[in-house]
Chains A and B, each alone.
Chain A
Amino acid sequence: AQKITQTQPGMFVQEKEAVTLDCTYDTSDQSYGLFWYKQPSSGEMIFLIYQGSYDEQNATEGRYSLNFQKARKSANLVISASQLGDSAMYFCAMREEKNTGNQFYFGTGTSLTVIP
């Protein structure tokens, strides 16, 4: 089974609107971390937001928020007030904590296009 599933290969959103990018994960661990990264066309991977499995409140970083639903094993990224510069690939990732060292898993990404 895939550890991280992103079911939306591509998404479009109107400028200034909000958009939700879906992410579901699979783990049997109690302690894990969830991340979102942005990859613009320039290729760099930019860390956006983090949610810990024990965090009861949803993480927020500026216009980014993570809608964490533990029972459903989902960690959707919400971008409010979309800007043209938000057009990029977005990757969801999970950290599992093992005795031998943490393991990181990445989804296949969602391409977001913001329309003026």
Chain B
Amino acid sequence: DSGVTQTPKHLITATGQRVTLRCSPRSGDLSVYWYQQSLDQGLQFLIHYYNGEERAKGNILERFSAQQFPDLHSELNLSSLELGDSALYFCASSVDRGRFGETQYFGPGTRLLVL
């Protein structure tokens, strides 16, 4: 158990709908990263938040947005869903392990299926 929690574990929805994925980082971790893992594109970095502020954006679609709240939990909002958005969505929280640098610990993921 990494200490990172994600809800829900599974989500089935229809095209055109909007969903919200939730992530709670490990206690004390200020950073949250979101990734999308699909069969054809591997693990793609979406967005990074640090202590409530957006730090970096990766391959995140305009239909997707995220935020990190004062209690450090984060939400990823996916709207106008398309079939191709079906994937496993991970969040990872990170900690600076001194000489080991920043290390990411992943949550169990949310498996999204768009029908």
Residues in A neighbouring B33, C-beta threshold 8 A: 104
Contacting residues of chain A (29-86) with chain B, CB-CB under 8 angstroms = 33, 35, 37, 42-47, 50, 52
Contact with B along A82-100 (1 / 0, CB 8 A): 0000000001000101001
Q: Is the CB of B55 within 8 A of A52?
A: no
Residues in A neighbouring B2, C-beta threshold 8 A: 44, 46-47
Question: Number of A-B pairs whose CB atoms are under 8 Å?
Answer: 62
Q: Is the CB of B43 within 8 A of A52?
A: no
Give the contact-size bracket for chain B: 20 to 34
Q: Is the CB of A104 within 8 A of B45?
A: yes
Give the contact-size bracket for chain A: 20 to 34
Task: Please give the distance in Å from B6's CB to the nearest CB on chain A.
Answer: 10
**Partner-contacting stretch, out of B15-23, B66-74, B77-85, B96-104:** B96-104
Cα–Cα, bound, A105→B45 (Å): 8
Cα–Cα, bound, A106→B92 (Å): 13
Task: Please give the distance in Å from A67's CB to the nearest CB on chain B.
Answer: 18
Interface residue A111 (Cβ < 8 Å from any Cβ of B): no
Residues in A neighbouring B94, C-beta threshold 8 A: 102
Grouping DSSP codes into helix (H, G, I), strand (E, B) and loop, the A interface class, with mixed when no group exceeds half, is strand
Contact with A along B92-115 (1 / 0, CB 8 A): 101001011111111111010000
Interface residue B14 (Cβ < 8 Å from any Cβ of A): no
Task: Please give the distance in Å from A70's CB to the nearest CB on chain B.
Answer: 16
Interface residue A28 (Cβ < 8 Å from any Cβ of B): no
Q: Is the CB of A43 within 8 A of B108?
A: yes
CB nearest neighbor in A for B90? A45
Cα–Cα, bound, A35→B99 (Å): 14
Q: Is the CB of B42 within 8 A of A33?
A: no
Please list the residues of chain A having a beta carbon within 8 angstroms of any beta carbon in chain B: 33, 35, 37, 42-47, 50, 52, 91, 95, 97, 100-109
Please list the residues of chain B having a beta carbon within 8 angstroms of any beta carbon in chain A: 2, 33, 35, 42-43, 45, 48, 50, 55-56, 88, 90, 92, 94, 97, 99-109, 111
Q: Which 4 A-B pairs have the closest CB atoms?
A: A45-B106, A101-B55, A106-B43, A108-B42
